[in-house]
Chains A and B, each alone.
Chain A
Amino acid sequence: MIHLLQTGLNSADSGSFLPVAVQFIIATGLVAFLMFVTHMLGPKRKTTDKLQNFSSGIETHGDARQPMAIKYFLTAILFVLFDVEVIFFYPYAVNFKVLGWNGFWAVMLFVGFFLCGFIYILKKGALKWEE
């Protein structure tokens, strides 16, 4: 289907993103259609008991939206930092042949700093789930 979709489109310009736009529209349309159809097809017998939140049979106590453990936050923020590191690898990975050893040592230094941070995190026990 490569021929189907890329007629007259140079894949290095922004026009090459057209297929994904069309794909997005079709996907949205399909899901909306499915939701609508099943909304029409399904029965609608609503009772207050049925619409309550499920809590395995016992009565629901309070609001579910309560503060959670800080550990999740730490995981998320460390993920952001390491994700940016991974992103920096992509331009390198494409070009490393041209850059040769100079580029490699630059990346090594970059990773070295990250590893320092990583060892600090481990030493501080930031990833320890149980206290």
Chain B
Amino acid sequence: MNITQIIFWILSVVALFSALMVITARNPVYSVLWLIATFFSISGHYILLNAQFLAIVNIIVYAGAIMVLFLFVIMLMNLNKESEPRKHRLLKLAGAVSGGSLLLVLVAALRDTDLKHEHALVNEGNIGLIQNLGKELFSTYTVPFEISSVLFLSAMVGAVVIGKKE
């Protein structure tokens, strides 16, 4: 076992453990903080795959921006024990069914993939470096890039409509 493998296992264990803590933590603020830990360990995985730009962007966008938004929302609402909405049994059942079907789809998808012939490029390959990524993004994928800005536009409109509702 070389050093990369050891780091990989440590990161995986941390990622899985903190992901589990996200759903088991009682306090929503703790859940968010564990989610941040998960994102950091996933960024570690990206670094092992030599996708440095993705690793950093993962931290900026997910851990730095979206998690801050989550923290804001949780602190805005400040759910106390009394004000926490009662969960219907039917709602729980629906949650279990939808979660279970997602799991089913994931397992089916994983079964179909041919894992034996796929090798992750560890410590090599340079598509994850910012120069190459930028070239791809602005030449091959210009149209999806422009469409994503339309998506942002719709997100802005949505946020304003929801936020400004009297």
Q: Which residues in A have some Cβ–Cβ distance to B below 8 Å? A: 12-15, 17, 63, 65-70, 72-74, 76-81, 83-85, 87-88, 90-92, 94-95, 98-99, 102-103, 106-107, 109-110, 113-114, 116-118, 120-121, 124-126
Report, as a range, how many residues of chain B touch the other chain: 35 or more
Q: Known: A87-B60, A95-B134, A113-B149. Contact between A120 and B76, CB under 8 A? A: no
Q: Give Cα A96–Cα B66 distance, bound, in whole angstroms.
A: 28
B61: chain A residues within 8 A (beta carbon) = 80, 83-84, 87
- State the CA gap A78–B69 with chains docked (Å): 10
Q: Is the CB of A65 within 8 A of B160?
A: no
| A to B contact number (C-beta, < 8 Å) | 137
Does residue B164 face the partner (Cβ distance < 8 Å to A)?
Answer: yes
Stretch at the interface among B14-22, B86-94, B96-104, B138-146: B138-146
- Residue positions of B touching A, CB distance < 8 A: 47-50, 52-53, 57, 60-61, 64-66, 68-69, 72-73, 75-78, 80, 122-124, 126, 129-131, 133-135, 137-139, 142, 145-146, 149-150, 152-153, 155-157, 159-160, 163-164
Main secondary structure of the interface of B (DSSP, over half): helix
Question: Do residues B156 and A74 form an inter-chain contact, with CB atoms below 8 A?
Answer: no
Query: Shortest beta-carbon distance, A77 to chain B, in Å?
Result: 5
Main secondary structure of the interface of A (DSSP, over half): helix
A91 with B163: CB separation less than 8 A: no
* Complex Cα spacing A14 to B135, Å: 21
